[in-house]
A and B are shown apart, each in its own frame.
Chain A
Amino acid sequence: MENTDLTIPLPEFNELNQPYWDSLKQGHLSFQHCTCCSHNWLPPRSECPHCLEDKWTWQAASGRAKLISWVVYHMAYHPAFAQRLPYAVAVVALEEGVRLISNVIGVDDFESLKIDQALQLVIEVEQGLAIPRFKPV
């Protein structure tokens, strides 16, 4: 059956990731910080992927980041994104060392972007969800 759902597919909220989404609502992009080995990471995990311990805290990112790579969608894999074409999805590295998938916004020509260029966090609210995106500095 053809998917005609025009709402973006929302994350599955659980005990582990709820603080991540809650902190975005309060204006912060947070990552997990290991209190044993000081490793920082996303997406949420119950153990540190470096030392495998389970002692960690949430920390707020500065919002300064760089562009590792990006792609530009010219076809929609989900009907909710058909109206947004073309749009850019990027791998972004926060200055705290954490990498994540996000969108690059505020760009007229995606081909003008450069790898490793500086980005700044922008939090946008959509369907009641605070979503971290990035724009060139």
Chain B
Amino acid sequence: MRGHTVIAGIGNTAFGKLPGRSTLSMNVEAIRKALADAGIEKDMVDGLFVKFPTSKFEMMYGQKLAETIGIVPRIGGVWDQGGASNISMMGYAAMAIEAGQCEVAVVCLADNPATGTRQAYEKAWGDDSIYGWFGTPAGYGMIARRHMGEYGTTSDQLGAIAVACRKHGAANPHAQLRKPLSLEQYRESRMIVAPLRRDDCCLVSDGAAAVVLMSAQRAKSLGVAKPVPILGFGQGQTSWEVALRHDLTTTAAEKSAHTAFKMAGLTPKDIDVAQIYDCFTIAALMTLEAYGFCPKGQGGKFVEGGRIELGGELPINTAGGLLSETGMPGLQLVLEGVRQMRAEALSQVKGARTCAISNQGGIMHTHSTLILGQD
């Protein structure tokens, strides 16, 4: 499958607060732009893979969206793995194209938790609310504290990830949060659920993004201007709730990356730039370990000293990630990976030919990996 499928087009709305916009409307804008970027008409789309709006569950949302954009796809619908959904759906779309189930697929996501409903985020943690066990940051905090205890990871090391992403976001005029962060400012940032501070937590954002996938052959015959080959993809499911997980510092991100690297015929050393899901700083740190960019337990040391900043050994989240560009669950990282591979990113890693991208959902319950590259 290596290189059989390409990303032919990308599109997105503005990020931040988009009051009054429905998720359908935002999806339409992102899809319209992605189709224009690929240079194709909507009638060619016969696969529509949709992540349901995180903040509100709607039955048959994929079909609602197909109707809204006026197409009748052969294959498609909604997929739910939280933030891992987008790359997972890209994998399914690539396999569907390979298997002749569709020819041109759109993968998209729209969400409005900033100005719309937060219905799905406000779920109680069931009977454990008697202990005051609420909110997503607490789950990541529980994992972070264990990582600190097992490996000596420090708050400053988590801070180094926030500093890097905020630096990259500050250089991105489309980013929702364009305020750079120093380590000193990070240290003074308000504790939310210790050991996590406000600046360890991603943004809450409205917005949409979409990508167009097709076979490399099809892209060539259509004269697609800037196709970016998909070299590998994979998934891994940790599944268990944080409280029941036997090992809090190991996740299925390892399996996901292994599958993707194997398909790509690459190793972590071959990667020039990475877009690592940073809903919380600890998630990015543990993903860098799981992917083999550094040994397990050494993520804290790895992220220090500017190694993950532009100009460093492995720049990550070059548009700002979830901590700075937009809190959108995942697809913005794919878009930035595509821009890096087209050599048209605003914070371009010079000569970058390969990009690893992670998506994950829940409290590290789900994971998916995408490897892009120019041969």
Name A residues whose Cβ lies closer than 8 Å to a Cβ of B.
8-12, 17, 43, 68-78, 81, 84, 86-87, 89, 91, 99-103, 110-111, 114-116, 129, 131, 133
Residues of B within 8 A of A102 (CB): 131
One of A69, A77, A103, A133 near B135 (C-beta < 8 A):
A77
Contact status A115-B135, CB under 8 Å:
no
Name B residues whose Cβ lies closer than 8 Å to a Cβ of A.
124-135, 138, 141-143, 145-146, 149-150, 190-196, 242-244, 248
Known contacts A99-B244, A100-B243; A75 and B129 CB within 8 A of each other: no
Contact status A71-B142, CB under 8 Å:
yes
Residues of A within 8 A of B150 (CB): 115
What are 30 A-B contacts defined by CB distance under 8 Å?
A8-B130, A8-B132, A9-B124, A9-B130, A10-B130, A11-B126, A11-B127, A11-B130, A12-B127, A17-B127, A43-B126, A69-B149, A71-B138, A73-B193, A74-B191, A76-B132, A77-B135, A78-B132, A78-B134, A89-B132, A91-B142, A91-B243, A99-B244, A101-B128, A101-B243, A115-B146, A115-B149, A115-B150, A131-B130, A131-B131
Contact status B130-A69, CB under 8 Å:
no
A-B contacts counted at CB < 8 A amount to: 90
Contact status B194-A71, CB under 8 Å:
yes
Residue of A nearest to B142 (CB): A69
Known contacts A77-B135, A101-B243; A69 and B143 CB within 8 A of each other: yes
Contact status A103-B145, CB under 8 Å:
no
Query: How many angstroms between the C-alpha atoms of A99 and B194 in the bound complex?
Result: 21
Query: How many angstroms between the C-alpha atoms of A86 and B128 in the bound complex?
Result: 17
Contact status A110-B142, CB under 8 Å:
no
Query: How many angstroms between the C-alpha atoms of A86 and B244 in the bound complex?
Result: 24
Q: What is the distance, in angstroms, from B87's C-beta to the closest C-beta of chain A?
A: 28
Query: How many angstroms between the C-alpha atoms of A115 and B188 in the bound complex?
Result: 25
Q: What is the distance, in angstroms, from A90's C-beta to the closest C-beta of chain B?
A: 8
Contact status B192-A75, CB under 8 Å:
yes
Q: What is the distance, in angstroms, from B166's C-beta to the closest C-beta of chain A?
A: 21
Contact status B141-A71, CB under 8 Å:
yes
Contact status A71-B193, CB under 8 Å:
yes
Query: How many angstroms between the C-alpha atoms of A75 and B135 in the bound complex?
Result: 10
Q: What is the distance, in angstroms, from B337's C-beta to the closest C-beta of chain A?
A: 32
Residues of B within 8 A of A103 (CB): 131-132
Known contacts A78-B132, A84-B132; A69 and B127 CB within 8 A of each other: no
Residues of A within 8 A of B133 (CB): 89, 101
Query: How many angstroms between the C-alpha atoms of A73 and B26 in the bound complex?
Result: 35
Q: What is the distance, in angstroms, from A28's C-beta to the closest C-beta of chain B?
A: 17
Query: How many angstroms between the C-alpha atoms of A72 and B190 in the bound complex?
Result: 13
Contact status A74-B192, CB under 8 Å:
yes
Residues of A within 8 A of B125 (CB): 101
Residues of A within 8 A of B195 (CB): 71
Residues of A within 8 A of B193 (CB): 71-75
